[in-house]
Amino acid sequence: MTVSSPGRVNIIGEHVDYNDGFVLPFAISKRTWVDAKRSEKFVISSRGYGRVEISSLKKTGKWTDYVTGVLKELESSGFKVPPVEIKIWSDLPAGSGLSSSAALETAVAFAISELLNLKLGKMDIVNISVRAERNFVGVQCGVMDQYTAVFSRKGQAMLLDTMKITHEYIPLNLNGLSFALIDSKVKHSLSSGEYNKRREETRRVLEILKKSSYRDVKIKDLEKISDTVLKKRAIHVLEETKRVVRAAEFLRSGKMKDLGELLYESHESLSELYEVSCDETDFIVEFLKKNGIIGARMIGGGFGGNVLVLDREEKIKRIFKKMSDEYFKAFKTKPTLMMIESDDGARIEGRD
């Protein structure tokens, strides 16, 4: 029995999903497939990473933790998980800001649920996958990635309220424009610490202000924050959340130029206030802006990965070719371009 789960692109709303903000993601047609069957021992294999036998559900610090963490959380939820063999393959690049970890986690949870007839609901799969990444892998992620992997619909973006954990579908009517991804070829590792550090910084702001949520914080409240770094982090969270709400309205009404301007504003905030960009992604965004691309910004946790681009497909390809040569001169590596399409969330692909 095989299931698959998609990667995702977040149009706007970066680093606010763990701060009770709004986000605007959609699933893409790059996916991770998981085949699960009963076995005499726990075996995890991947076409890209090899075959590993697991003697116990303990953390190893390796890529298998994303799988083992899900199995561990299933057991912590009261389900007995017998030895299983899990085979994984994917056309979703890891470490590129496309949420490959959430795709893997949700696919594993879904596959095991189907194999063992656990009857997990969609939200159960989301919660188990989020806990696996937080408790086992050690990345204090928000809910967006796993939620998008499960609830997405082809042709739709989701305006997701990460405080209420509710969403509204918004048609991806781009008025003849397309989304694309430019891979900087700089790979990030969120578990290395910077991601968790940003989360702790935003938590400290709430602690100082004696607030339980950023929904209760106003810009004027930040006058009480003397630490410059903490203030910058909080300004990003508040302003980015506002940008998401505006972006959803622009998407509904087909105002693509206005949406593009918000993408550039988001990138500037992520680079200068939240400080999660890098020279390579800054270079790409600045080049695209100077050459008249409607909108672009870094996506994902940061420190590398992909840049999201909005414009006509032909124009994106033409400007990318020009940019690629300049990028190679600056960084001695070639970026890659991928046009993207929306897709459905996690689904059963077939049964043995």
Query: Which backbone phi and psi does 73 adopt, to 5 degrees?
Result: -70, -30
pLDDT number for residue 187: 77
pLDDT single digits (tens) 69-78? 999 999 999 9
The answer, yes or no, to whether residue 184 has pLDDT greater than 80, is yes
Which is more confidently placed, 53 or 249?
Answer: 249
Q: Which residues of 34-63 are buried (b: 16+ CB within 10 A; e: fewer)?
A: bbbeeeeebbbbbeeeeebebeebeeeeeb
Measure the CA–CA gap between 245 and 350, rounded to whole angstroms. Answer: 38
Token representation of residue 27: 């699933």
Does 216 participate in catalysis according to the annotation?
no
Q: Could you tell me where the DSSP H helices lie in the chain?
A: 65-76, 100-116, 122-131, 144-151, 194-209, 228-253, 256-272, 279-290, 313-331
The answer, yes or no, to whether residue 2 has pLDDT greater than 80, is yes
CA distances from 104 to 164, 188, 322 (A): 25, 17, 35
pLDDT number for residue 59: 85
Across 92-98, average pLDDT = 76
Catalytic residue among 35, 145, 282, 311: 145
The answer, yes or no, to whether residue 192 has pLDDT greater than 80, is no
| Cβ burial, residue 64 (10 Å; 0-12/13-18/19+) | buried
CB 230 within 8 A of CB 204: yes
Can you give the length of the chain in residues? 352
Which is more confidently placed, 302 or 275?
Answer: 275
Domains of the chain: 2-171 (3.30.230.10), 178-339 (3.30.70.890)
How would residue 96 be classed by pLDDT, with cut points 50, 70 and 90?
low
Query: Which DSSP state fits 54?
Result: E
